[in-house]
Amino acid sequence: MSERVIPLIDQRLRSRPVAVPSQPIPASGLLGDTLGRPLRDLRISVTDRCNFRCSYCMPKEVFDKDYQYLPHSALLTFEEITRVAQQFVAHGVQKIRLTGGEPLLRKNLEILIAQLAVLRTADGQPLDLTLTTNGSLLARKAQALKDAGLQRVTVSLDGLDDATFRAMNDVDFPVADVLAGIEAAQRVGLGPIKVNMVVKRGTNDDQILPMARHFKGTGIVLRFIEYMDVGATNGWRMDEVLPSAEVVARLSAELPLVPLSPAAPGETAERWGYADGSGEIGVISSVTHAFCRDCNRARLSTEGQLYLCLFATHGHDLRPLIRSGASDEELASAIAAIWQQRDDRYSELRASLPPDTAVGGRRIEMSYIGG
Ligand code: SAM
Ligand code: SF4
Ligand code: SF4
């Protein structure tokens, strides 16, 4: 029998302690990092577990039955998450996205949503509160999520061809059940709904047109994501990336498109409208067209590590501070000091780096930190 090799250094252990600055940093909503980027978007991972094994994210060979997920005691509680989120909102966050792993696997998630839904920005506005899901449990949970105060959802779906999709999620999950989840979300008003499709050349690029035709005219915004070199386990190769420019070219040959202006500063997707006015699509070009200049996103891991970039090799461990009895002001100041020192711009630098470079260690996994 061959020996099992796990090519993974446990990223969860790589973190920097967080200190409270000696001078408080008041929450003005005007926080900037070293490149002047504000803090507007917080992505919170609520679990590191998933019921899918998408090969680009949680390949089966690594995330098998022996994989050590975080123990329950390591996870931030809903109260802890809400308290941290509140400090981020005070510093200017306007949008919170729950992610994972598969966020709908976290028990009683509606309770967390209800707690986050009552947070208000400094000028009294509700947050843009959303969630990214693989859709497998959405048909069952859509109504409860809506009732708890979730505004909208993004559903990941990599194709309409059942065999292709079953192979990509690698647990034989059918397309029809995800489509039923999307319909349920639409029915209960969890919109505008976005659908994310990761495009892998030679695997599902034949699904680009069928997916566009399916969602055209439905009010659902389909977004094509370039397959990214995130994490250290998916065996990423540049020749499997289908550049967004090619996606747009293939689509517009059949379904004419016109460019649209960005919906918001820091928006990751480039928007295109159907020339006949029947809706829009987006392309997220994280490999071929860096968008670090406007990146206003922070990521909070399931156990309270703050990451400043999707390609970071270290987190900032907020949990000890959260559990130390520090005041809200101290917590807010510590978060502000971390953001003020941020200089991450991995996607911009990628072109000039040797392949698989991760300065200071291996990169975190997408399933750990969320998209
Ligand atoms: N499980 C949920 C889902 O799949 O929607 C939420 C977490 S998942 C990590 C968030 C998003 O990251 C998904 O849309 C997924 O397709 C995307 N993703 C994961 N690995 C990726 C990769 N290597 N390149 C591009 N997108 C990726
Ligand atoms: Fe799970 Fe989402 Fe990763 Fe797929 S992309 S393995 S559904 S966390
Ligand atoms: Fe933001 Fe890092 Fe992605 Fe650049 S590479 S857009 S800094 S998350």
Task: Please give the mean pLDDT across all residues of the chain.
Answer: 91
Does ligand 1 lie within 6 Å of residue 366's CB atom? yes
Q: What is the mean pLDDT of residues 138-160?
A: 98
* DSSP one-letter code for 277: S
The model carries a pTM of 0.93
Report which protein residue has its CA nearest ligand 1's atom 2: 133
Q: Which residue has the higher pLDDT, 2 or 290?
A: 290
Q: What is the mean pLDDT of residues 287-312?
A: 92
Note whether residue 43 is domain-resident.
yes
* DSSP one-letter code for 70: P
Note whether residue 170 is domain-resident.
yes
Note whether residue 6 is domain-resident.
no
Looking at residue 322, its pLDDT comes to 96
pLDDT digits (tens, 9 = 90+) for 211-232: 999 999 999 999 999 999 877 7
Note whether residue 82 is domain-resident.
yes
pLDDT digits (tens, 9 = 90+) for 7-46: 444 555 578 889 899 999 988 888 999 999 999 999 999 9
pLDDT beyond 90 at 97: yes
% pLDDT > 90, the chain = 78
Does ligand 1 lie within 6 Å of residue 227's CB atom? yes
Does ligand 3 lie within 6 Å of residue 345's CB atom? yes
Does ligand 3 lie within 6 Å of residue 295's CB atom? yes
CATH number at residue 129: 3.20.20.70
Backbone angles phi, psi at 279, to 5 degrees: 125, -165
Note whether residue 2 is domain-resident.
no
Report which protein residue has its CA nearest ligand 1's atom 11: 371
Half-sphere exposure of 189 (CA within 13 A, CB side): 7
pLDDT beyond 90 at 159: yes
Which among 99, 137, 102, 130 has a CA at the least distance from the CA of 116? 130
Note whether residue 3 is domain-resident.
no
Total domains present in the chain = 1
Report how far ligand 2's centroid is from the alpha carbon of 49 (Å): 9
Which among 100, 113, 106 has a CA at the least distance from the CA of 152? 113
Reading phi first (left if > 0) and then psi (alpha if -120 to 50, else beta), residue 197 is in: beta
* Domain extent at residue 322: 11-369
